[in-house]
Chain A
Amino acid sequence: DGGITQSPKYLFRKEGQNVTLSCEQNLNHDAMYWYRQDPGQGLRLIYYSQIVNDFQKGDIAEGYSVSREKKESFPLTVTSAQKNPTAFYLCASSIGLGVIYEQYFGPGTRLTVT
């Protein structure tokens, strides 16, 4: 079955540590996205990538970094510079043709930093 996997489901870290969230897709989609969701809020875009080895900042990129070395993978690193890292993180992908905007989401990773 095609889909998007995110691991782990729950992640706990101490303040000051960097942490990397995994996102893998086997939908053969070109575009991938990372969102952050806080309670009672919509989804806010952190980073997105339309093609391998290229990515752009979204609305709240500060304190985060990404890489796109393979089409299937788009890991997100939450650095110690992110002031409020505790949140629900969602990865998504889309075909990326520029006329079809449907994005498909993974199950999410809940990160708690204490």
Chain B
Amino acid sequence: GQQLNQSPQSMFIQEGEDVSMNCTSSSIFNTWLWYKQDPGEGPVLLIALYKAGELTSNGRLTAQFGITRKDSFLNISASIPSDVGIYFCAGPQGGSEKLVFGKGTKLTVNP
């Protein structure tokens, strides 16, 4: 089946630094979704991308839908302690409404 590979698996950064993470697949996706999960909570949708090449921002977060449609990127600018959590990418499987999820990038921000 389709798989999403996220990198890096974990990141340790200082408050104020910018962060970049990505999600890649060997298959084409028509939609990319980025979620953030705080410890012990459900994932929260951050950004949804529906068009190749699309660049969408949500506050300090910016996500891009790769031109090849096989990857997506999430950037966080000027990180703050509350950015700590696990960031997941997801996309619909084979055009169905089922989503496939990456294994996540765990972000730690040191004050």
Interface residues of A (CB under 8 A from B): 4, 6, 31, 33, 40-43, 45, 48, 50, 58-59, 88, 90, 92, 94, 96, 98, 101-108, 110
Contacts of B40 in A (CB 8 A): 88, 108, 110
| Chain B residue, CB-CB nearest to A56 | B98
Asked if B41 contacts A107 (CB within 8 A), the reply is yes
Asked if A94 contacts B97 (CB within 8 A), the reply is yes
Contacts of B90 in A (CB 8 A): 103
* 12 additional contacts (CB under 8 A) given A42-B101, A101-B48, A107-B42: A41-B103, A42-B88, A42-B104, A43-B88, A43-B101, A45-B98, A90-B42, A90-B43, A102-B48, A104-B45, A105-B43, A107-B41
Number of A-B contacts (CB under 8 A): 54
| Chain B residue, CB-CB nearest to A6 | B42
CB of B96 to closest CB in A, whole Å: 8
Asked if B41 contacts A102 (CB within 8 A), the reply is no
State whether the Cβ of B33 lies closer than 8 Å to any Cβ in chain A: yes
A96 to B99, CA, bound (A): 12
Kindly list the 7 A-B residue pairs having the minimum CB-CB distance in the complex, ordered from nearest. A105-B42, A42-B101, A42-B103, A43-B101, A101-B92, A108-B42, A101-B31
Name 16 A/B residue pairs within 8 A (Cβ), A-sorted: A4-B42, A42-B103, A43-B43, A45-B98, A58-B98, A92-B42, A98-B97, A101-B48, A101-B99, A102-B33, A102-B48, A103-B90, A105-B35, A105-B42, A105-B44, A107-B42
Asked if A50 contacts B103 (CB within 8 A), the reply is no
Asked if A101 contacts B103 (CB within 8 A), the reply is no
A108 to B97, CA, bound (A): 21
